[in-house]
């Protein structure tokens, strides 16, 4: 009870005593650019030879963010912005005195371009200073896009219909963007949008930006973006996209039958803009054959691992369903509340214990109604049967989310979920959350946020002890970053449509990081970090897990190389025996152990990049040594190959065991629209080798062909690998846009 009272006093003091500190985010003069109405036509080819681009640039005053914050960039960047009734056009001229040294090593859709020469831009089309569309490209012409929610890092799983073309010439490189207004949502009554643009030069790792060129401000913090004015008479058309698909293929499972089973199916998605701010998404007979397989993980804990969502229907506008997100990412991507709780996790729909559950129909409604962000998702699944045996019945699963926005970055929200994917019982969850945030705390242009939440589940046959609540206060800035989180998850808390790796715990987490920039001996930034997590068992009334991580040495060089040393200490109490691997059981007791680890990573802007980590120390009743390494070869923009290895050697009083994880990738990009991704994985726990080959051919943005081969080899009793399963699919999506 003391924690709840303290939290309430803190929030009341912050709200009532410092309202100005939270509400005033737009520090200083906000830059403004006026878009010009297009006269004539533009051929999107990267050549910038149209009359619209021969006028004086609309933006030229970029300022360095790093390495020399506040100074003029070493090379000039010019930006032109024009628009027609149907699309926004942005041209960028990136001047470079040494065009032969431009780094452009990947042109796949949604490639990681951070270590390439790149241009990134954000469009806050509702001018709400919190949500935006994200577009980026590198000098090779990769199409990268995403959605920004609540000023967080962009989620690049969203794929819009748009176009970009680039060219490298004797004066540098150019990028020409065409963003159709049918692709993005906006309020037609607004004549101004939030807008920001940045450029990164891989040579020297120099980043410059138009608005808010500060080390404490990320490009995704649209609350600190500039303004794009002059937009008038924009058309979204009817606002209807119909996206049917057809699929065919064959499957063979040698463990049950050596026969090839053919399949052919069809379905589709319908997107309709009910209003300019509210969109309906309907999926019928959904198929996810083109989805990339999960990367395997080694689990040396007692708790389930987190695997991120990768399916397109659930990823679009997924940010609206985020609940009580922390200021900085903690835990795996997509996790919140310090990596310990997600009230709604979309992977619970259509997947059950690693098996695909048929999705018959789904409806999603997302967008804005006045000051409210709203999201509703309802999905009807089919029966999951194996060999005519029902594993899970057909179920209706639903989630609703609403946020009332106030000030520039703050909101109060609620969430509700209904349904148990397993069909074992009835289940509902309800929760509320509050976020207070500013990027100009007391006029200092520093970030500060406070998050509080509470939720409760209702499960058939279970009563009481089924709530969770907590909060975080954070000061996430470049030089000093601090956070304090507290979470309570009671024993019977059961988010059937969510993810909670452990229940019946009270969690306290503290992190502190000091990151000076000495600019000596080629050093760009140092980091000294402290992190402590305490898990107290509410069931056993004793500490369950205590984790301390100290990083007394971490150095980032101007070259992009990095090195660090970390020491971890753990205290684990087992309240019941734990079988860590088959045949090795750790008895009840208290275990204290620690590990020393050193790691290094070379710059990813080089053709050959590598990273390595060594660790050694105690582990439960014995010792553990670990090694992980990765090598990536970027031959050119067409070919990238990588190999990753992770090994653990564990020696316990109860027995010894090793673990191995190997992952290899070979990615070929023939053009920005045609790519072939090959991914091979092996892990010693399953003794299985998996291959996925995935050809993606974008005929035009929105119209795609996928050819996907999944094959597995299983190790047999004679330590030989034999074919176990093959799945081959050809799928075509086509978008009819009105």
Tens digit of each residue's pLDDT (9 = 90 or more) over 672-708? 999 999 999 999 999 999 999 999 999 999 999 999 9
Residue 287 lies in a domain: no
- Digit-coded pLDDT (tens) for 381-401: 999 888 778 888 999 999 999
Question: Is the model's pLDDT at 327 over the cut of 80?
Answer: no
Region 501-505 average pLDDT: 96
Residue 480 lies in a domain: no
Question: Is the model's pLDDT at 238 over the cut of 80?
Answer: yes
Q: How many CB atoms lie within 10 A of CB 421?
A: 22
Distance separating alpha carbons of residues 635 and 641, to the nearest angstrom:
8
Residue 680 lies in a domain: no
Contacts of 451 (CB under 8 A, 6+ apart): 324, 325, 326, 327, 433, 434, 435, 436, 471, 472, 473, 474
Cα 350 versus chain centre, distance:
20
Distance separating alpha carbons of residues 310 and 679, to the nearest angstrom:
15
pLDDT band at 20 (very low <50, low <70, confident <90, very high): very low
Same domain, 211 and 109: yes
Residue 405 lies in a domain: yes
Region 181-196 average pLDDT: 94
Distance separating alpha carbons of residues 564 and 526, to the nearest angstrom:
10
Residue-level pLDDT at 26: 56
Same domain, 185 and 209: yes
Question: Is the model's pLDDT at 336 over the cut of 90?
Answer: no
Contacts of 357 (CB under 8 A, 6+ apart): 349, 350, 351, 381, 382, 384, 392, 421
pLDDT band at 84 (very low <50, low <70, confident <90, very high): very high
Same domain, 52 and 196: yes
Buried b (16+ CB within 10 A) or exposed e, 560-588: bbbebebebbbbbbeeeeeebbeeeebee
Question: Is the model's pLDDT at 602 over the cut of 50?
Answer: yes
Distance separating alpha carbons of residues 292 and 289, to the nearest angstrom:
9
**What's the CATH number where 203 sits?**
2.60.40.1190
Of 619, 322, 709, 714, the C-alpha closest to 498 is 322
Contacts of 370 (CB under 8 A, 6+ apart): none
Q: What are phi and psi of 224, to 5 degrees?
A: -110, 20
The whole domain housing 78 covers: 31-229
Distance separating alpha carbons of residues 298 and 320, to the nearest angstrom:
31
- Digit-coded pLDDT (tens) for 532-577: 999 999 999 999 999 999 999 999 999 999 999 999 999 999 999 9
Distance separating alpha carbons of residues 671 and 109, to the nearest angstrom:
10
Region 182-208 average pLDDT: 95
Could you say which DSSP state residue 342 is in?
B
Region 710-731 average pLDDT: 93
Residue 500 lies in a domain: no
Same domain, 463 and 529: no
* pTM confidence score: 0.93
Return the structure tokens found at 171. Answer: 């004066």
Same domain, 453 and 313: yes
499: β partners: 342
Q: Which residue has the tokens 């994985």?
A: 681
Count of the separate structural domains present in the chain: 3
Own/partner pairs for 328-334, CB < 8 Å, 24+ apart? 328/474, 328/476, 328/481, 328/483, 329/153, 330/485, 330/509, 330/511, 331/306, 332/306, 332/308, 333/308, 334/306, 334/308, 334/309
Buried b (16+ CB within 10 A) or exposed e, 308-327: ebebbbbbbbbbbbbbbbbb
Of 197, 20, 182, the C-alpha closest to 124 is 197
Contact 65, 200 (CB under 8 A): no
Last residue of a domain, one of 475, 506, 535: 475
Region 146-173 average pLDDT: 94
Q: How many CB atoms lie within 10 A of CB 52?
A: 18
Residue-level pLDDT at 8: 42
Query: Where would I find the H helices in 343-483?
Result: none
Return the structure tokens found at 410. Answer: 């703050």
The residue among 332 and 366 whose pLDDT is bigger is 366
Return the structure tokens found at 29. Answer: 């003069």
Residue 275 lies in a domain: no
700: β partners: 703
Contacts of 142 (CB under 8 A, 6+ apart): 106, 107, 108, 109, 110, 111, 113, 136, 672
Q: Which residue has the tokens 């049967």?
A: 385
Last residue of a domain, one of 173, 195, 229: 229
Last residue of a domain, one of 420, 452, 475: 475
Contact 633, 642 (CB under 8 A): yes
- Digit-coded pLDDT (tens) for 448-462: 999 999 999 999 989
Same domain, 437 and 568: no
Cα 300 versus chain centre, distance:
24
The residue among 5 and 294 whose pLDDT is bigger is 294
Same domain, 19 and 36: no
C-alpha torsion 375→381→386→392, nearest 10? 80
Residue 53 lies in a domain: yes
Residue 156 lies in a domain: yes
653: β partners: none
Same domain, 151 and 125: yes
Same domain, 350 and 393: yes
Residue-level pLDDT at 717: 84
Same domain, 196 and 302: no
Residue-level pLDDT at 17: 42
Same domain, 435 and 338: yes
Same domain, 455 and 566: no
* H/E stretch holding 568: strand 562-574
> What is the total residue count of the chain?
738
Question: Is the model's pLDDT at 332 over the cut of 50?
Answer: no
- Digit-coded pLDDT (tens) for 642-672: 999 999 999 999 999 999 999 999 999 999 9
Q: Which residue has the tokens 């859709």?
A: 109
Residue-level pLDDT at 446: 95
Residue-level pLDDT at 27: 54
Question: Is the model's pLDDT at 16 over the cut of 90?
Answer: no
For 259-350, where are the E strands, in sequence order?
A: 261-275, 278-286
């Amino acid at each position: 009870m003391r924690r709840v009272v303290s939290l309430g006093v803190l929030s009341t003091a912050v709200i009532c005593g410092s309202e100005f500190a939270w509400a005033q985010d737009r520090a200083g003069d906000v830059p403004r650019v006026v878009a010009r109405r297009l006269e004539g036509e533009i051929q999107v080819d990267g050549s910038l030879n149209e009359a619209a681009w021969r006028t004086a640039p609309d933006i030229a005053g970029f300022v360095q963010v790093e390495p020399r914050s506040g100074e003029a960039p070493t090379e000039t960047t010019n930006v032109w912005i024009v628009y027609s009734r149907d699309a926004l056009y942005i041209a960028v001229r990136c001047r470079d005195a040494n065009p032969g040294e431009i780094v452009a090593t990947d042109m796949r859709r949604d490639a990681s371009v951070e270590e390439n020469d790149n241009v990134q831009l954000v469009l806050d089309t509702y001018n709400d200073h919190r949500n935006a569309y994200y577009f980026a490209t590198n000098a090779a012409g990769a199409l990268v896009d995403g959605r920004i929610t609540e000023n967080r890092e962009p989620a690049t799983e969203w794929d819009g219909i748009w176009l970009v073309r680039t060219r490298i010439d004797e004066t540098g490189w150019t990028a020409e963007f065409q963003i159709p207004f049918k692709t993005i949502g906006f309020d037609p009554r607004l004549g101004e949008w939030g807008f920001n643009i940045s450029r990164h030069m891989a040579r020297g790792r120099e980043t410059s930006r138009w608005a808010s060129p500060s080390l404490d401000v990320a490009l995704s913090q649209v609350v600190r973006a500039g303004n794009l004015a002059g937009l008038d008479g924009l058309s979204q058309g009817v606002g209807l996209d119909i996206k049917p698909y057809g699929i065919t293929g064959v499957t063979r499972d040698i463990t049950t039958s050596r026969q090839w089973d053919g399949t052919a199916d069809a379905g589709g998605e319908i997107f309709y803009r009910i209003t300019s701010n509210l969109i309906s998404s309907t999926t019928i007979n959904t198929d996810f054959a083109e989805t990339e397989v999960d990367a395997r993980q080694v689990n040396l804990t007692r708790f389930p691992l987190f695997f991120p969502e990768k399916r397109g229907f659930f990823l679009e506008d997924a940010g609206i369903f985020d609940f009580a997100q922390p200021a900085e990412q903690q835990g795996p991507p997509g996790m919140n509340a310090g990596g310990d709780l997600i009230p709604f996790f979309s992977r619970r729909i259509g997947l059950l214990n690693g098996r695909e559950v048929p999705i018959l129909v789904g409806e999603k409604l997302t967008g804005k109604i006045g000051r409210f962000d709203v999201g509703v998702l309802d999905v009807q699944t089919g029966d999951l049967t194996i060999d005519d045996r029902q594993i899970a019945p057909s179920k209706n699963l639903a989630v609703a989310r609403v946020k009332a926005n106030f000030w520039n970055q703050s909101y109060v929200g609620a969430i509700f979920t209904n349904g148990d994917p397993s069909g074992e019982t009835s289940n509902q969850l309800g929760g509320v959350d509050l976020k207070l945030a500013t990027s100009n705390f007391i006029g200092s242009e520093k970030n500060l946020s406070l998050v509080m939440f509470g939720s409760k589940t209702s499960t058939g046959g279970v009563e009481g002890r089924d709530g969770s609540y907590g909060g975080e206060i954070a000061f996430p800035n470049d030089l000093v970053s601090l956070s304090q989180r507290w979470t309570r998850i009671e024993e019977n808390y059961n988010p059937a449509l969510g993810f909670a790796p452990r229940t019946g715990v009270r969690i306290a987490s503290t992190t502190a990081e000091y990151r000076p920039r000495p600019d000596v001996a080629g050093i760009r930034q140092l980091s000294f970090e402290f992190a402590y997590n305490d898990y107290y068992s509410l069931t056993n009334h004793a500490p369950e897990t205590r984790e301390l991580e100290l990083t007394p040495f971490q150095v980032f060089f101007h070259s992009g190389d990095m090195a660090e040393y970390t020491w971890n200490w753990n205290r684990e109490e087992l309240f019941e025996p734990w079988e860590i691997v088959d045949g090795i059981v750790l008895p009840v007791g208290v275990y204290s152990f620690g590990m020393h680890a050193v790691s290094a990573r070379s710059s990813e802007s080089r053709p050959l990049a590598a990273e390595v980590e060594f660790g050694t120390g105690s582990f439960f009743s014995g010792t553990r040594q670990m090694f992980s390494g990765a090598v990536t070869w970027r031959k050119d923009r067409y070919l990238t190959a990588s190999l990753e290895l992770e090994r653990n050697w564990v020696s316990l009083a109860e027995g010894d065991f090793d673990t191995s994880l190997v992952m290899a990738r070979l990615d070929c990009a023939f053009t920005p629209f045609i790519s072939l991704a090959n991914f091979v994985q092996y892990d010693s726990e399953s003794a299985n080798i998996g291959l996925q080959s995935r050809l993606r051919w974008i005929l035009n943005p929105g119209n795609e062909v996928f050819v996907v081969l999944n094959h597995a080899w299983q190790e047999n009793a004679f330590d030989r690998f034999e074919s176990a399963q093959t799945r081959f699919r050809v799928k075509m999506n086509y978008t009819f846009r009105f």
